[in-house]
A and B are shown apart, each in its own frame.
Chain A
Amino acid sequence: QVQLVESGGGVVQPGGSLRLSCAASGFTFTNYGMHWVRQAPGKGLEWVAVISYDENNKYYTDSVKGRFAISRDNSKNTVFLQMNSLRSEDTAVYYCAKGLRTSSVYDAFDFWGQGTMVTVSS
């Protein structure tokens, strides 16, 4: 069965950095785009970033461009989100999500992890 397990969240001061990881299993990781989606406390869903199956394409929401970087290690079935210059408005649960279709980044998300909480506060 598909499993996505996020880790790396925590409390960080404004301006600080965190690196989130998402370990995937139960499917052919190298065939699918992988996404990060976040949810601020009590708020709705916000898509953050995607990386294509072959790492050649990466897209970000405007508010994180230049601060966040998505990457993947296909040998370890893991996707990462490096978050720098963190702001209070980045406080959220960060979910890793699997793209529905092979070889696509324009996708719905058919499996989600349980999420990891990131709190940016002094």
Chain B
Amino acid sequence: DIVMTQSPDSLAVSLGERATINCKSSQSLLYDSNKKNYFSWYQQKPGQPPKLLIYWASTRASGVPDRFSGSGSGTDFTLTISSLRAEDVAVYYCQQYYSFPLTFGGGTKVEIK
């Protein structure tokens, strides 16, 4: 199984400041034939289902504000919130869809400092 390791477990950031979350996979998620990373990010607010933010490591899902960006390739990935807003308080999860079982990282809780 591919293990997804997120860091940090929690993060407190001032409003308007940058938040950075990292995710490392135990093997490469880059598929040679199409050069795509089979990797995504989700946001989950309390009492709600997760919401897709980023797929293919860097493509924003429909309706996602451009303050959210994804980067990285292979085994190392980053989610950046460029200017934190109060509504961004949530738990963020990374996920690989390269091989079964599909796996998630343990989550990163983002709070306001």
Q: Say whether A and B bind each other.
A: yes
Binding site for B on A (CB under 8 A): 35, 37, 44-47, 50, 59-62, 95, 100, 106-115
Instruction: Give 27 A-B contacts (CB < 8 Å), ordered by A residue.
Output: A37-B50, A44-B93, A45-B104, A47-B95, A47-B104, A50-B100, A50-B102, A59-B100, A59-B101, A95-B50, A100-B52, A100-B55, A106-B38, A106-B98, A106-B99, A106-B102, A107-B97, A108-B95, A108-B97, A109-B52, A110-B52, A110-B55, A110-B62, A112-B51, A113-B49, A114-B49, A115-B49
Contacts of B38 in A (CB 8 A): 106
Q: Does B72 contact A (CB under 8 A)?
A: no
Q: Do A45 and B50 contact each other (CB < 8 Å), given the known contacts A106-B97, A108-B97?
A: yes
Q: Which residues of B contact A111 (CB under 8 A)?
A: 52
Cβ of B101 and Cβ of A112 under 8 Å apart?
no
- Is B20's beta carbon under 8 Å from chain A? no
B61 at the interface (CB under 8 A from A): yes
Give the interface of B toward A (CB within 8 A).
Answer: 38, 40, 42, 44, 49-52, 55, 61-62, 93, 95, 97-107
Taking CB as reference atom, which chain B residue is nearest A62?
B101
CA distance A78 to B60 in the complex (A): 28
Q: Contacts A95-B49, A115-B49 hold; do A108 and B104 have CB atoms under 8 A apart?
A: no
**Residues in B whose Cβ lies below 8 Å from that of A112:** 49-51
Give chain B nearest CB distance to A26 CB in angstroms: 14
Task: Determine how close the nearest CB of chain A comes to the CB of B87; give it in whole angstroms.
Answer: 18
**Distance between Cα atoms of A39 and B77 in the complex (Å):** 23
Q: How far is the CB of A81 from chain B (nearest CB, A)?
A: 15
